[in-house]
Amino acid sequence: QKEVEQDPGPLSVPEGAIVSLNCTYSNSAFQYFMWYRQYSRKGPELLMYTYSSGNKEDGRFTAQVDKSSKYISLFIRDSQPSDSATYLCAIEVVGKLIFGQGTTLQVKP
């Protein structure tokens, strides 16, 4: 079993839609949960992170961790064409960053 799993999509939504991106992880001991955004032909950039459990909000983005079900979510409100990118969840495992497969999102005007 992979340490973190993510549905690769692709996901296509109209502008203004609410987007939900999800990952599952295998070990309840994991503490740091991150979301990276990667534009085409660029390196990943950290978008948000949460430590332990709960929600974290930054503008139109909300990161959520449900430790009871080992589920990580990223919500994007009022999605914009500029949000079109690949979104990767990541966890820390003994100082290493382990990534999910990434979900490619397209927001259509």
Chain residues binding another protein by CB under 8 A are 6, 8, 32, 34, 41-46, 49, 88, 92, 95-102
Cα–Cα distances in angstroms (integers) from residue 22 to residues 11, 41, 42, 53, 86, in the given order? 12, 23, 22, 15, 13
Rank residues 31 and 80 by Cβ distance to another protein and give the closer one.
Answer: 31
Give the residue carrying structure tokens 């382990």.
98
Rank residues 17 and 67 by Cβ distance to another protein and give the closer one.
Answer: 67
Rank residues 55 and 80 by Cβ distance to another protein and give the closer one.
Answer: 55
How near is the Cβ of 18 to another protein at its closest, in Å? 24
How near is the Cβ of 33 to another protein at its closest, in Å? 10
